[in-house]
Amino acid sequence: MRLPLAWLAEWVELPAEAELCEALELAGFEDAYTEDAGGERVLELGLTPNRGDAASLLGLARELRALFGSELTLPPCEVDARGAAAGGAVQLVIEAPEACFHYAARIVRGVKVGASPPALQRRLEAAGVRALNNVVDATNAAMLELGQPLHAFDLAKLAGPEIRVRRAAPGETLKTLDGKDRKLDPRDLLIADAKQPVALAGVMGGADSEVGEGTTDVLIESAHFHPTDVRLGARRHGLHTEASYRFERGVDREGVVRAADRAARLIAEGAGGEVAAGVVEARGEAAPEIPRIELRVERANRLLGLDLDGAQIRALLERVEVEVDRADAGRLDCRPPSYRNDLGLPQDLAEEIARIHGYDKIPTTRPTGELVPARLPESWRLADGMRDALAAAGLVEVRSFPFVSAADLEALGLAADDPRRRPLALRNPIQEADGLLRPNLVPSLLRLVRQNLSRQVEEIGLFEVAAGFEAAEESPQGDEAPTLPTETLWAAGALTAERFAGLWSGRERPPVFFEARGIAEKALSGLGYVASLRSGGSAPYLHPGASVALFAGDREVGCLGELHPNVAGVFGIDRPCAIFELNLSALLTVKKREFHFREVSREPGVRRDLAVLVDEGQAAGELREEIRKVAGPELASVQIFDRYTGPGVPDGRVSLAFRMVFQRSDRSLTDAEVSTITDRVVKALSERFGAEPR
């Protein structure tokens, strides 16, 4: 921005040029320097985008008054209104109230268009504005003085005469003052008369209503447009003018009529016209209210590194015309002036305090801070530990997209009331087919298994640790506040076996189910949980005869088993495939096993083998846990070493053999004591499981 120093000196007393430039740079402006231009000494000043209020003589004079404490002299804006009222000559209609908050029009009759006085022409040229004629130059001068863009229409060229602020109609065009025919966009904000557009609002006027040598009556436009509408309109048409520069940054909402009056006065003085009585006004939606900001003295000082009291801060803010209505208990109730659109937060006021107080007066201090050791969330630690355990077991980690299709979920055979049947739908999916967020990791893993099999990868071992998503259940009344979706952290793995044994494969490998079981149990145990397997589970996509539920302590935390043949067929998996799932979110609520170390006993252990007949479907792990509970502290270990069906065992029954080792650290156990414990175990197994000693 360029402003002649002589013009600025009419508004406020100026210090020496070097002091002026240094003070402006310290106050946050960019590239403040002076130079000669067209016979005038000018101030070249770089404005930051938030300081649209300083793009005028008035704004810069206010800034200098705040910095140096000098008096501000405003130019006269009063007009000598005579003749017929302006309200009878023009009608204003705002059809886009969301984009035009306030529109004011002044009429000057009987003007004689000609050249402006040489002094005004030199000032305009020095400020970077081309001088045209005494009417247009007056509006440009008023804009440079007050920061409010203005436009002058030839009143006789307006149809109606009427002014309508509206959006462009499809196919409309406008020939602007630069002589170019512009195809208008329906989003463009226009100034139009009763028949056609006459200006691109806030950017540039139209050639058809331009003030020329034959103009006698002038309509002066002064308005408050929405900054975004002006900015987007200027960008669409590649027009960046002095008017759009100011509208985009925000103008003084209370200075619209004042600017129209100032322009009318300058036109009457320079072009010999007569100002019509009254101002014609129209209002759209209310502009955003001037905010009231509560500023805490302690917080402002902490932000700036200062130690100012409330009275000092109030005095600094009042220098930039911030009204402070209340100042007590360390809080200031502040109201910025109408022209400062950049002040809306306590931090903004703190910046003003620093600017006016002086950045160079802020003491230099060494940065201090309390170093707090970083601590990962427990869910992250558990997920990382699970990844390490599964990778150590020989599985390969994968990271898949969390999107699945409805067909994938349908193939899992979930019950109608299963929460996993409530997936979250994406508004803008990458692929229309995969438009759901997965509730668990199984569909993604099965897709990857199929993809690897199609590329002749025979033996597959994959795992993933990621989140699953379930939509909240709808309230039956429908009037409760909506709840957030459920996000569950899962670890899941998939393993397949080779279809044919290799020539040098050695002895036959165990079924893939047992590999998955061993990996899952070892991973849980390695993370400090007591892992156990129990029959049942809630995974319909697993084979009912080869699946179990995974428990950590007394909490079910997952399942594992061989893939159900129907599900395998849908996903194109033609060989044995085992799946395991671990709900890590549920695992976080389970207490980990406490490890107790004891000295190795010097006393000999006593071994007893116990074989019992139980129902064929009975899980051996449940019997083992019962033995541990009943035998007491004398039991050092218990293992299952045999499972037998055949001759000598009734149909529907199975023989399970357990090896128990009893030992104490202080003395040797007698045979009678061991027999008593063994009898107690046999009785407990018989009462709970119907076990018969064999």
Q: Tens of pLDDT along 102-159?
A: 999 999 999 999 999 999 999 999 999 999 999 999 999 999 999 999 999 999 999 9
Q: Is residue 592 part of a domain?
A: no
Please count the other Cβ atoms lying within 10 Å of the Cβ belonging to residue 24: 22
Q: Is residue 601 part of a domain?
A: no
382/420 same-domain check: yes
What is the structure's pLDDT at 475?
55
129/178 same-domain check: yes
User: What range does the domain containing 462 cover?
Assistant: 378-473+482-587
DSSP track, 564-619 = PHHHHHHHT--S-EEEEEEEHHHHTTSPPPPP---PPPSSPPEEEEEEEEEETT--
Tens of pLDDT along 237-265? Answer: 999 999 999 999 999 999 999 999 999 99
> pLDDT at residue 504 above 60?
no
Span 4-9, average pLDDT: 94
353/423 same-domain check: no
What is the structure's pLDDT at 268?
95
Q: Is residue 599 part of a domain?
A: no
338/423 same-domain check: no
What is the structure's pLDDT at 460?
92
What is the structure's pLDDT at 483?
74
Tens of pLDDT along 513-549? Answer: 989 999 999 999 999 998 888 876 668 999 988 898 9
Q: How many domains does the chain have?
A: 5
CB 139 within 8 A of CB 150: yes
> pLDDT at residue 332 above 90?
yes
Tokens of 103: 């529109």
CA distance 691 to 694: 9
CA-nearest of 669, 677, 672, 659 to 605 is 669
Last residue of some domain: 249, 283, 317?
283
Ramachandran area for residue 272 (φ above 0: left; ψ -120 to 50: alpha; else beta): left
Predicted confidence band of residue 509 (pLDDT cuts 50, 70, 90): low
Tens of pLDDT along 619-631? Answer: 888 898 899 999 9
Q: How far is CA 173 from CA 368, 408, 516, in A?
A: 62, 54, 72
Span 654-679, average pLDDT: 92
Tens of pLDDT along 564-591? Answer: 999 999 999 988 999 999 999 999 999 8
Q: How far is CA 489 from CA 396, 440, 557, 561, 584, in A?
A: 19, 9, 11, 20, 5
Burial of 481 (0-12, 13-18, 19+ CB in 10 A): exposed
Tokens of 213: 């040598």
145/194 same-domain check: yes
Q: Domain containing 163 — which CATH number?
A: 3.50.40.10
Q: Is residue 594 part of a domain?
A: no
CA distance 547 to 530: 19
CB 674 within 8 A of CB 636: no
First to last CA, the chain: 103
Tens of pLDDT along 460-472? Answer: 999 999 999 988 7
Predicted confidence band of residue 480 (pLDDT cuts 50, 70, 90): low
396/538 same-domain check: yes
Tokens of 679: 């009898």
Q: Is residue 595 part of a domain?
A: no
Instruction: Report the run of H or E that residue 387 belongs to, with start and end.
Output: helix 378-392
Q: Is residue 27 part of a domain?
A: yes
What's the sign of the alpha-carbon dihedral 403, 409, 411, 413?
A: positive
Question: Mean pLDDT over all residues of the chain?
Answer: 91
> pLDDT at residue 40 above 90?
no
What is the structure's pLDDT at 370?
82
Last residue of some domain: 552, 587, 622?
587
170/115 same-domain check: yes
What is the structure's pLDDT at 681?
94
CA distance 135 to 433: 65
CA distance 678 to 631: 7
Q: Is residue 373 part of a domain?
A: no
CA distance 415 to 399: 28
CA distance 30 to 148: 22
492/398 same-domain check: yes
349/401 same-domain check: no
Last residue of some domain: 283, 303, 321?
283
Q: Domain containing 643 — which CATH number?
A: 3.30.70.380
Tokens of 81: 């209104």
Greater pLDDT, 219 or 485: 219
What is the structure's pLDDT at 327?
66
Greater pLDDT, 474 or 43: 43
Percent of the chain with pLDDT over 90: 72
128/249 same-domain check: yes
Burial of 568 (0-12, 13-18, 19+ CB in 10 A): buried
> pLDDT at residue 478 above 60?
no
Q: Domain containing 537 — which CATH number?
A: 3.30.930.10
256/228 same-domain check: yes
Tokens of 335: 């109201």
> pLDDT at residue 499 above 80?
no
352/409 same-domain check: no
> pLDDT at residue 299 above 60?
yes
Q: Which residue carries 């997920």 as its tokens? A: 383
CA distance 571 to 434: 15
Helix, strand or coil, per DSSP, at residue 513? helix
> pLDDT at residue 474 above 70?
no
What is the structure's pLDDT at 476?
53
Q: Which residues contact 18 (CB under 8 A, 6 or more apart)?
A: none
What is the structure's pLDDT at 595?
73
CA distance 609 to 188: 91
Q: Is residue 531 part of a domain?
A: yes
Tens of pLDDT along 161-214? Answer: 899 999 999 999 999 999 999 999 999 999 999 999 999 999 999 999 999 999
> pLDDT at residue 506 above 90?
no
What is the structure's pLDDT at 277?
94
Q: Domain containing 43 — which CATH number?
A: 3.30.56.10
